[in-house]
A and B are shown apart, each in its own frame.
Chain A
């Protein structure tokens, strides 16, 4: 029987998904009330198109067409995704979890960062839900 085990102790103390700003210095900006302006339809479409380029799924997964996952992001002042969380609970079903993780990888992908967000709308994006459903699949 295989034995399972958790992360090595050298990593346990780190917050596993938070990453400090790579330049090392804390950033200001984006923290003002003006970051709450609503996104236009064009901006929503632009974000969706951008993220879709980085999203890869397994086309042969059973029931892929019926799966939807919703995620939220935390951004730094430049619109780089720093953290990704599920909008609800973390999925239990292995297939749904796999789609969730592929969506998370899309949002964290270096090719899709920074997100195309106007500097005055960072808050709005963080309050928004990224809803991934592979209905119109395969390009």
Chain B
């Protein structure tokens, strides 16, 4: 969907699409403390689904009482098909470093395989093992050890539930439905103001950004044209 305006050359000032620092999410961010949890985010997973399952000492099989959590995770991932996750396996400190890494890997694998058996595509689930190196609870008793024998599901991509394809489609629809003139005027006005300010005519685009990841999902005009 290239437009005549793509002929504009100049500095590739990639506005919101250049923002890779997730700390710049600012007001648009995680909404912690605001009581406003974005669906399809890590907070949503933690608060409404359950992000972790627990294991018995020295065991790596998914316990029967833990299966409901994973079933809910699988169903949740079905609702947000853009989301990709990593299952992180852990062990408690009552053991040695190398073996516990292998044991925690087995826990992560068992959890991942359970999710796949529930219908989640394997390419959406990676796994990693941390052994006993990242305890969640630090006391020297079973109440902490049991919390550390865990597999935690962590979002690694697509947290907003909106991916690049969806965002581009959204922009296409918006342009077709009459926003094109609005966007063109917005971009032109911004370019004029910025040129007066910095002395050069920059490239300006309107972008749809996933603030959790700090990632630009789609932009108009398509910044790909100006790369290089």
Direct contact between A and B judged by beta carbons closer than 8 A: no
Interface residues of B (CB under 8 A from A): none
